[in-house]
Chain A
Amino acid sequence: MESLKVRRLLSSIAVNGALFLICFIWTIPTLALLISSFRPRDDIKSSGWWTVLPHRGWQTTEELPIPEDMTRDEPITIEGITATYDEFREGVVSEDRQTQFLWVGNLRSGRIEVRERKWGVNWDFTFENYGQVLAGKTYEITNADGSVSIVQGDNFTGAFLNTFTVAIPATVIPILIAAFAAYGFAWMRFPLRKVMFIGVVALLVVPLQIALIPIMRDYVSLDLNGTFLAVWLAHTGFGLPLATYLLYNYISGLPRDILESAFIDGASHFTIFLRLILPLSVPALASFAIFQFLWVWNDYLVALIFLGVTNSDIQVMTMRIQEMTGSRGQDFHALTAGAFVSILVPMIVFFSLQRFFVRGLLAGSVKG
Chain B
Amino acid sequence: MAQYADAENQRVRTIGDFLVSSFGRILIALIVPAVTFVVLWQGFIFLRDSNAPQLVITLIAIVWGVGGVAMLFFVSNWLIEQLPQRWMRYLQPFLFVGPAIAILTWYLAIPTLRTFWLSLRNTNGSQFVGLNGQGVPFIQNYIEVFTQRIMLEAFRNNLLWMVLGTSLTVILGLLVAVLADRSKAESIWKSLIFLPMAISFVGAGVIWGMVYEYNPNVGLLNAITGIFGAEPQAWLINQPWNNFFLIVTVIWLQSGYAMVLLSAALKGVPGELLEAARVDGANEIQIFFKILIPYIQGTIITVTTTVVIFTLKVFDAVIVMTGGQYGTEVIGVRFYRESFINRNSGYGSTIAIILLIAVIPVMIYNLKQFGEREVF
Contact = CB atoms under 8 A, between A and B. Distances in A.
> Is B truly associated with A?
yes
A204 B209 CA distance: 33
Nearest to B69: A173
Contacts of A347: 195, 198-199
Contacts of A236: 103, 107
Nearest to A261: B4
Interface residues of A, number: 124
B153 interface: no
B366 A199 contact: no
Contacts of A260: 4
Given A161-B54, A362-B264, A213 B47 contact: no
Interface in B318-350: 319-320, 323, 332, 335-336, 339-340, 345, 348-349
A187 B210 contact: no
Most buried by B among A46, A238, A264, A343: A343
B207 interface: yes
Contacts of B110: 214
B135 interface: no
A367 B112 CA distance: 16
Interface residues of B, number: 116
A4 interface: no
B15 interface: no
Given A32-B207, A183-B96, A184-B97, A199 B104 contact: yes
A354 B194 contact: yes
A9 interface: no
Contact of A215 (B96, B107, B180, B215): B107
A165 B66 CA distance: 11
A1 interface: no
A335 B370 CA distance: 46
A177 B94 CA distance: 12
A203 interface: yes
Interface in B195-244: 195-203, 205-211, 213, 215-218, 220, 223
Given A211-B108, A346-B198, A164 B58 contact: yes
Contacts of B305: 366
Given A44-B218, A173-B69, A297 B200 contact: yes
B52 interface: no
Contacts of A234: 107
A78 interface: no
Interface in A287-340: 294, 297-301, 304-305, 318, 321-322, 325-326, 329, 332, 335-336, 338-339
B12 interface: no
15 contacts: A19-B179, A48-B220, A168-B62, A206-B363, A207-B309, A210-B111, A210-B112, A210-B352, A212-B352, A233-B103, A240-B100, A298-B199, A298-B201, A354-B194, A366-B366
Interface of B: 1-2, 4-5, 8, 44, 47-48, 54-55, 57-58, 61-62, 65-66, 69-70, 73, 77, 81, 92-97, 99-101, 103-104, 106-112, 114-115, 118, 172, 175-176, 179-180, 182-183, 185, 189, 191-203, 205-211, 213, 215-218, 220, 223, 252, 255, 257, 260-261, 264, 302, 305-306, 309, 312-313, 315-316, 319-320, 323, 332, 335-336, 339-340, 345, 348-349, 351-353, 355-356, 359, 362-363, 366-367, 370, 375-376
Interface of A: 11-12, 15-16, 18-19, 22-23, 26-30, 32-33, 36, 44-50, 157-158, 161-162, 164-165, 168-169, 172-173, 176-178, 180-181, 183-185, 187-190, 193-194, 196-207, 209-216, 218, 227-229, 232-234, 236-238, 240-241, 244, 252, 259-260, 263-264, 266, 268-270, 273, 294, 297-301, 304-305, 318, 321-322, 325-326, 329, 332, 335-336, 338-339, 342-343, 346-347, 349-351, 354, 358, 361-362, 364-366, 368
